[in-house]
Structure 1
Amino acid sequence: MSSAKDFHNAFLDTSRPEKVMSYYVNRAIDDTQDSVAEMKQAVEWEETPGCYLFSGLRGAGKTTELQRLTTELADANIPAFYCNADAYLDLNDPTITQAELIFTALAGLADAVKAAYGKEFLQQTLWERVKSTMNSEVELQPTLKTAAPGFEAEVQFSLKENHTFKQELIKFAASSGSFFHEANQFANEVAAFVKQQTKQSKIVLIVDSLERLSAPNGQEHLLFESLKELFFNSPSRLFFDSISVIYTVPPYIHAVLPGIDQFYSGIFSLPNFKIMQTPKPSHAIERNDNGIAKMVEVVAKRFPDWQQYLTTAVIEEFAWLSGGNIRRMFALIRHTTRKAVLGKVVFPVAEITSEPVEQAIAEETKNIQWLNAQDRKWLLHCQEHSGQLAQCIKNLQEDLPPIIRLFDHSLVLNYQNGRVWYQVPPIIHGKI
């Protein structure tokens, strides 16, 4: 017999089942707008290894989609390896360099290959190789970590724990092209080992969590310069001769770096569940019942007996209020369950006007009080126009910080049906 605690915990990110695909629901409105299917097709059809960008908001379900991608690539006999950048880098540092990103990608690749095949397959690790090239005498501090759910891996070393080595790496890469040459050679050696083991000609590396790059201390201008350095100024360095690579990127990348598409083999965007119809000028947003039904299906796969605790009307309202953002809907479910237990409300919570539901909504929108005038201006812009952002930026120094903050807190969400468009989640409407 399940309890309210069991129901609550089913919607924690840390409580995912080992097999992510057991609760997967495809959000795409049709196959032609399925970003994962598009990425898989691009990898399968490419004649030479490509470099791809994949954007998605925090809480949109991006890591689950990447798990689906690795599963489908494996079904197509294409080995794919996963690197969680957060295990190697401090993603709250707004000044991350391209050398750090490339080093992280290859360190993650080496750790994932070692985990997959259970043997030492290189005469020198990447860390030893780069130390030797730099003539560094720094002592490395090892660390053991676990990657994102569904992608468990042992991490040999992390740049976060080896700050002196990190600084030497940045200085060395800035003064010499040797690092980038050695990095590509290392990738070739790892690829050769994997091809020997699998008898396959294509290999894919997924570098996840980079959408979380942020500037928590109000240094958005530094983050912008870092994004330019990472993905815009020398994009060819992010390609490898023998491995196709997919980097996740912040969802506002097109807004702040228009024209970035031209440098990559493909750029794909993971939209939120489309719970609203594409807005028309001067018309109020309207519900999209198909998108809401998909989110209810996600709940049912997470917890089959969910109707013991919340009615269909409440779950559908949460799907709508969340704007199609999975993490926010899960938070509303958890808040409501806790408040109902504390308030001794009889389950199932049936009304969207009930006290636990209203308390959950208040809890999930309390951060709005910290928005400043610029934040509110851009929120209103997205609510009223639902259009593109890049062409509306007039002063990058003034407009960039609020745009980054709003995306970081999922107060502006992205959708797609033919084109990408933006809207404010309905839970925010009337509170700006």
Structure 2
Amino acid sequence: MKLDLRQFFRACNPAKTIDVGNPEERKYYINFSQVRGGTLIEQIARTISRLSPDSPTCQLFTGHIGSGKSTELLRLKAELEQQEFHVVYFESSKDLDMADVDITDILLAIARQVSESVESMNIKLNPTGFKNLIQGLLDVINTQINVKAELAIPGLSEPGEFSLTVGIGKLTAKAKDSRDLRSLLRQYLEPRTNNILEAINQELLLPAIQQLKQQGKAGLVVIIDNLDRIMNSKSATGRPQPEYLFIDRGDQLNQLQCHVVYTIPIGLIFSSDLGRLTSRFASEPKTLPMVPVKFPDGTPYPEGIEHLRKMVMVRAFPAIDLNNYTHLITKVFDSAETLDRLCIMSGGHVRTLLALLYSCLQQEDPPIVRSILENVIRQRCHQLLLAISSEEWQLLRQVAQTKKIMGLREYQTLLRSLWVFEYRHEDEYWFDINPVIAEANQFNLIDL
């Protein structure tokens, strides 16, 4: 079997998310649920399709940066579509400024994405409430900012059919690039949040669901990805954005009359307000951990390493029989030990594994030799060490000893920086040092 270098290079791009719903990309997908300690996506799908097929559900999904959340959510989309649900999946970061997000921003993004999706299904909407809302917004904007020509919306104050997608899209696109305009929108929209929710439910979601069911669909599911990227900056209330949006205003996010899956910042799991978060959504957040490569005592975890091996090899040979691939390893690496070294040093963090592999491929064509991999690991180590202070080395020491992280402060310091990873095996949970850091001289000099 011949290695297609161009295809392999593209498949290893760490910025690329696998869309399981696409047959060309599905062949690269490896299901890690067996070694991650739980079938999280199956649980979310089951809640939607079996436990509450006709009642709205609202579920929370989180995980560490680069752990594969988007890939898993696209798998959820594909599985629900096979069950005849109409699924609207979108990356909220394309609509929102993650450093400055308010509740109405999220609601309008959902309304725009859903309206655009259902309009493509020839579903007719009569959003008179939204039309009045947008007209009121333009009246306010045009008295203070000269954007009238750029925000001219057909069917609003001139002849033509009004499109909710176009109306909201023009407003949100302009607002994303203008803090002044966002401020004006929020001043107008915030007191009307309940009216917006009412309009979304009565003029968009419920009519859409009714017409979708007439087309043979089981219902409507909205998956909002990338909300976990919301920055920890202060909101207008003084609260960090994640706590303000999902805890203080979570009851409003939970009022949409369809199935909804929100991604949330993982820091909320370490917050003292976790109980309030769970109460707001009546649901425990589901967290996607890393793929374990070692047990807490440091002994290798063969099943986890094997799944990572397959992830690498299937990118090299998409048509490979994953039960019989070992004879092809030397077409990609100088030895099986080099492949294992790559998997172990990734710490089971999918994006790190791909980033290390991609860096190797940028330096030489396969078979990748051990010296190139070690050079890439050293470069990665150097980058990570630059930001670690003496106080943070002490926090790393504590994690190495206890395999635990205690509280939001340690999360902000260690996990967001990818210095520490979270793992699960069966009913056991633990944290451990990023293997790249664990091998550094500075770490080894700490008195463990």
TM-score normalised per structure 1:
0.80
Q: CA deviation at 1:265?
A: 4.0
Q: How does 1:131-150 map to 2 (within 5 A)?
A: 131-134=134-137, 135-138=139-142, 139=148
**Corresponding letter in the other structure for 1:376:** W
Number of the residue aligned with 1:286: 299
Number of matched pairs: 394
Unaligned runs of 5+ in 1: 143-152, 342-346, 394-398
Number of the residue aligned with 1:235: 250
Matches of 1:127 and 1:164 in 2, distance apart?
A: 22
Number of the residue aligned with 1:324: 348
Q: 2:359 aligns with which of 325, 330, 335?
A: 335
- Deviation string 1:47-66 (CA, Å, 9 cap, x unpaired) is 62111110022211111111
Q: CA deviation at 1:368?
A: 2.1
Number of the residue aligned with 2:288: 270
Q: Is residue 2:39 matched to residue 1:34? A: yes
- Deviation string 1:74-122 (CA, Å, 9 cap, x unpaired) is 122222110210110012x1x422221222222222233334x2x4733
**Corresponding letter in the other structure for 1:380:** R
**Which entry has the higher C-alpha Rg, 1 or 2?**
2
- Deviation string 1:316-336 (CA, Å, 9 cap, x unpaired) is 211111111111001111112
Number of the residue aligned with 1:75: 82
Q: Look up the SS of the partner of 2:62 in the other structure.
A: strand
Q: 1:361 aligns with which of 365, 373, 377?
A: 377
Q: Is residue 2:319 matched to residue 1:296? A: no
Matches of 2:420 and 2:216 in 1, distance apart?
A: 45
Matches of 2:227 and 2:219 in 1, distance apart?
A: 24
Q: CA deviation at 1:128?
A: 4.5
Label 1:382 to 1:101 Cα distance change in 2 as closer, same or farther (>3 A): farther
Number of the residue aligned with 2:323: none
Q: Look up the SS of the partner of 1:53 in the other structure.
A: strand
**Corresponding letter in the other structure for 1:321:** M
Q: Contact 1:63–1:208 at 8 Å: present in 2 too? A: yes
Q: Contact 1:131–1:137 at 8 Å: present in 2 too? A: no
Number of the residue aligned with 2:185: 169
Number of the residue aligned with 1:101: 106
Q: Look up the SS of the partner of 2:27 in the other structure.
A: helix
Number of the residue aligned with 2:133: 130
Matches of 2:48 and 2:286 in 1, distance apart?
A: 13
Identical aligned residues as a percent? 18
Q: Look up the SS of the partner of 1:207 in the other structure.
A: strand
Matches of 2:330 and 2:346 in 1, distance apart?
A: 19
Matches of 1:125 and 1:276 in 2, distance apart?
A: 58
Q: Look up the SS of the partner of 1:199 in the other structure.
A: coil
Q: 1:121 aligns with which of 113, 120, 124?
A: 124
Q: Is residue 2:414 matched to residue 1:406? A: yes
Matches of 1:26 and 1:52 in 2, distance apart?
A: 21
Matches of 2:292 and 2:242 in 1, distance apart?
A: 28
Label 1:199 to 1:165 Cα distance change in 2 as closer, same or farther (>3 A): farther
Q: CA deviation at 1:273?
A: 1.4
Number of the residue aligned with 1:396: none
Matches of 1:223 and 1:306 in 2, distance apart?
A: 54
Matches of 1:228 and 1:195 in 2, distance apart?
A: 35
Matches of 2:9 and 2:411 in 1, distance apart?
A: 32
Number of the residue aligned with 1:10: 11
Q: How does 1:128-207 map to 2 (within 5 A)?
A: 128=131, 130-134=133-137, 135-138=139-142, 139=148, 156-157=169-170, 158=173, 159-161=175-177, 163-176=179-192, 177-189=194-206, 191-192=208-209, 194-207=211-224
Matches of 2:235 and 2:124 in 1, distance apart?
A: 41
Number of the residue aligned with 1:84: 91
Number of the residue aligned with 1:48: 55
Q: Look up the SS of the partner of 2:45 in the other structure.
A: helix
Q: 1:313 aligns with which of 327, 332, 337?
A: 337
Q: Is residue 2:443 matched to residue 1:427? A: no
Matches of 2:329 and 2:17 in 1, distance apart?
A: 16
- Deviation string 1:162-190 (CA, Å, 9 cap, x unpaired) is 65543233223433443333333344345
Number of the residue aligned with 1:23: 28
Q: Contact 1:323–1:413 at 8 Å: present in 2 too? A: yes
Label 1:323 to 1:127 Cα distance change in 2 as closer, same or farther (>3 A): farther
Q: 1:61 aligns with which of 43, 60, 68?
A: 68
Q: Look up the SS of the partner of 1:245 in the other structure.
A: strand
Q: Look up the SS of the partner of 1:60 in the other structure.
A: coil
Unaligned runs of 5+ in 2: 143-147, 153-164, 318-327, 444-448
Alignment RMSD: 3.3
Matches of 2:238 and 2:420 in 1, distance apart?
A: 19
Matches of 1:333 and 1:129 in 2, distance apart?
A: 53
Matches of 2:36 and 2:280 in 1, distance apart?
A: 25
Number of the residue aligned with 1:348: 367
Matches of 2:237 and 2:392 in 1, distance apart?
A: 19
Q: Contact 2:18–2:26 at 8 Å: present in 1 too? A: no
Q: Look up the SS of the partner of 2:274 in the other structure.
A: coil
Number of the residue aligned with 1:210: 227
Q: Contact 1:56–1:271 at 8 Å: present in 2 too? A: yes
Q: CA deviation at 1:41?
A: 1.0
Matches of 2:396 and 2:238 in 1, distance apart?
A: 21
TM-score normalised per structure 2:
0.77
Q: Look up the SS of the partner of 2:90 in the other structure.
A: strand
Matches of 1:312 and 1:125 in 2, distance apart?
A: 64
Matches of 1:420 and 1:171 in 2, distance apart?
A: 44
Number of the residue aligned with 2:162: none
Q: CA deviation at 1:269?
A: 1.2
Q: CA deviation at 1:254?
A: 0.8
Q: Contact 1:78–1:200 at 8 Å: present in 2 too? A: yes
Q: Contact 1:114–1:121 at 8 Å: present in 2 too? A: yes
